[in-house]
A and B are shown apart, each in its own frame.
Chain A
Amino acid sequence: MNEITAHVDALPGLDPRAPLLHVEDLHVEFRTRDGVARAVNGVNLWLNPGETLAVLGESGCGKSVTAQAIMGILDTPPGHVTGGRVLYRGVDLLRLPESERRKVRANRIAMIFQDALSALNPVYTVGFQLAELFRVHRGTSRREAKRRAIELLDQVRIPDARRRVDDYPHEFSGGMRQRVMIAMALALDPEVLIADEPTTALDVTVQAQIMSLLADLQRERNMGLMLITHDMGVVADVADRIAVMYAGKVVEEAPVYDIYAHPAHAYTKALLESIPRLDHKGQALNVIRGLPPALTDIPTGCAFHPRCAYAREICRLEPPPAYQIAPHRVTSCHFVREVLGV
């Protein structure tokens, strides 16, 4: 850790005892031709060192936009952060000038994407792209940078790293490319790694390799890992806590064991019942009727009410408050008790 701080100007207001990452009431809008799409509507999240937080939700519910807002890489315009704070060790990143944010991005919070091929530059070798990071941010010599690039590729378990370092991105398979992406993200020893659907494009066999690699690297480095996915299976294996998103809000947040055993939000419960299981051949799947809402036209009250089996009048009228039902368990559902069956 010392090495990092030696290279990075201290952020004003940085408090080493403050939580690693704390997103508070984040709001993001997209102003488009079809109106204002409210992609993120008051997201609250926190992440500790060495912890894996899974952000789970269907496509379009605002997972990636939340991640982009945290990273400061939102497409602006049309995207605008319209409220909230992103606190990294007590410093509100949203208030930092762009030059400071860039440093945070490279050194403290890193991100990997679903589509590794388009995130790598096709005209440079992966070794060059890795070495470039060390040269620009650490001022290391060319030779040293290359040595460290090989070391990193080794760490992400690319076989024969010494030779592959001079290959171009297209010469790697999908899984290998994702490893290269991980190497790039980890090059500058970030404290937070945001992984946006890192295995969605991969086969299960390769997915298992990548997930175990991520878990190992996280343990070794005591990183905070924010894992964004729509796959309820993947997160069951690795997450410590789970935040379920729907229509731009975190609707339920809970430790992983609790949420699968006793979902406390009608949406989480319906989602769990609608997926086919590998470990037994069930009967007809429980279906969530209808479609996720258009973000330009989010239903009133609880956004899930038009699709919810538990919904009653109040769900249409009143947005459910966040109920703290246990330590670290928060859910926004008017009928928690019915859903939990207590």
Chain B
Amino acid sequence: MSDVVLETRGLVKHFKARKGAVRAVDGVDLQLRRGETLGIVGESGCGKSTLAKLLVGLEKPTQGEIRVRGEDLTRLGGAALRRSRRNIQMVLQDPYTSLNPRMTVGDIIGEPYDIHRDAVPQYGKARAVQELLDIVGLNPDHINRYPHQFSGGQRQRIGIARALALRPEIIVCDEPVSALDVSIQAQVINLLEGLQRELGLAYVFIAHDLSVVRHISDRVAVMYLGKIVETGNHAAIYEQPTHPYTQALLSAVPVPDPRLRGRRDHIMLEGDVPSPADPPSGCRFRTRCWKAQPGCADHEPLLEIRQRSSHPSACHYAEVRHVMRRF
């Protein structure tokens, strides 16, 4: 399987807290193949951003492995680590805070080359920067402008150009379109899709908007309280969800079609996500699960293929429920 560009095994991140630990990411296994998009969805606070930060090295894992092209980043150091890291870049959520307001766009996009001098193409940094601006659909003459002179969507393009500079194979996108206007989201999504086709990029695409994730992803992983509770290709997750949490999430997403009003299967979840500092025993979803049985408190369900679930699902009673029937 040389096809796998990124793989994590038992990835764990615990943050020290006043009492005990916040278990932000608690044993995540995932695989990403070349040119593929893996969508990650889940409610706020379930560990998506922490996972993203672990992948790009902004946080150190408490446990587990992150393998980029087979090399375990957690065991590498020095120059080898730097080289490996170049292969995995990130686009951040907020285009208003992710660009240094006191650097010109040329300096921002050129910074990867200042840090990794051996990555500068033969024709020079200046040309490379202008080429990148062109690739993401910005005017290459705007290198001397500052971020505040651009709109949100354009800033996100600058962020994407910066992530492309070192020619990575993998880009982690943490909510790349959440902060954008509706009419601009489509521009950025199409850009990301176009770049994937042309450059063969693999994306880890994190978003809370399940419609956007469905649109862009080949495979989807659903996260709850630091764990992946269901994973599969987009058809499996959206058309045959088997985990109660996935089903509830999907049923809560509003669909822009008033004809579906009152005809959709609404599963109303009670309350909020429990604190990751003190997750429920057994199945973490049991405090909000309408299918919970007494046994769910004692035995933690593994993420595996079960009798009634053709794809991995972490529920003892995994079973398809069509929440997204088409009309």
A-side interface residues toward B, CB under 8 Å?
58-59, 159, 173-176, 203-209, 211-212, 230-234, 236-237, 239, 256-257, 260-261, 270-272, 274-282, 284-289, 291-292
Contact = CB atoms under 8 A, between A and B. Distances in A.
Given A271-B183, A278-B238, A281-B214, A236 B268 contact: no
Most B C-beta atoms less than 10 A away, residue of A58, A232, A276 = A276
Nearest to A208: B252
Given A174-B44, A278-B211, A284-B190, 10 more contacts: A203-B44, A204-B254, A205-B249, A212-B268, A230-B181, A233-B256, A274-B186, A276-B209, A279-B257, A281-B238
A176 B270 CA distance: 12
B182 A232 contact: yes
A277 B258 contact: no
B199 interface: no
A208 B271 CA distance: 11
Nearest to B212: A276
A115 to B, nearest CB: 15
Nearest to B42: A203
B254 A58 contact: no
A277 B254 CA distance: 10
Interface residues of B, number: 47
Contact of B253 (A174, A204, A285): A204
B208 A203 contact: yes
A208 B266 contact: yes
Contact of B214 (A232, A278, A285): A278
Interface in B171-200: 181-187, 189-190, 193
A232 B266 CA distance: 18
A287 B187 contact: yes
**Closest 4 interchain pairs by CB?**
A233-B254, A276-B215, A208-B252, A274-B186
A157 B301 CA distance: 32
Given A278-B210, A278-B238, A281-B234, A287 B186 contact: yes
Contact of B252 (A174, A204, A270, A287): A204
Interface of B: 43-44, 151, 153-154, 181-187, 189-190, 193, 208-212, 214-216, 234, 238, 248-261, 266, 268-269, 271-272, 324, 326-327
Contacts of B253: 204, 233, 278
20 contacts: A58-B182, A59-B181, A159-B271, A176-B272, A204-B208, A205-B249, A208-B254, A208-B266, A208-B268, A236-B261, A237-B255, A261-B259, A274-B182, A277-B255, A278-B214, A279-B255, A279-B326, A284-B190, A285-B190, A292-B183
A278 B324 contact: yes
Contact of B215 (A174, A209, A285): A285
Contacts of B260: 236, 279
A174 B250 CA distance: 20
B122 to A, nearest CB: 34
A173 B271 CA distance: 9
Given A159-B271, A209-B268, A275 B182 contact: yes
B190 A234 contact: no
B258 A257 contact: yes
B22 to A, nearest CB: 16
Contacts of A275: 182, 185-186, 211, 256
A297 B254 CA distance: 35
A159 B238 CA distance: 32
A129 to B, nearest CB: 22
B182 A277 contact: no
Contacts of B43: 203-206
Nearest to A285: B186
Contacts of B249: 204-205
A269 B271 CA distance: 36
A261 B258 CA distance: 9
B190 A205 contact: no
Nearest to A173: B272
A234 B256 CA distance: 7
B198 to A, nearest CB: 14
Contacts of A58: 181-183
Contacts of A230: 181-182
Given A275-B211, A276-B211, A260 B182 contact: no
A177 B181 CA distance: 25
A236 B254 contact: yes
Contacts of B216: 276
A304 to B, nearest CB: 10
Contact of A236 (B154, B234, B258, B271): B258
A260 B257 CA distance: 6
A205 B256 contact: no
B284 to A, nearest CB: 15
Nearest to A294: B151
B211 A277 contact: yes
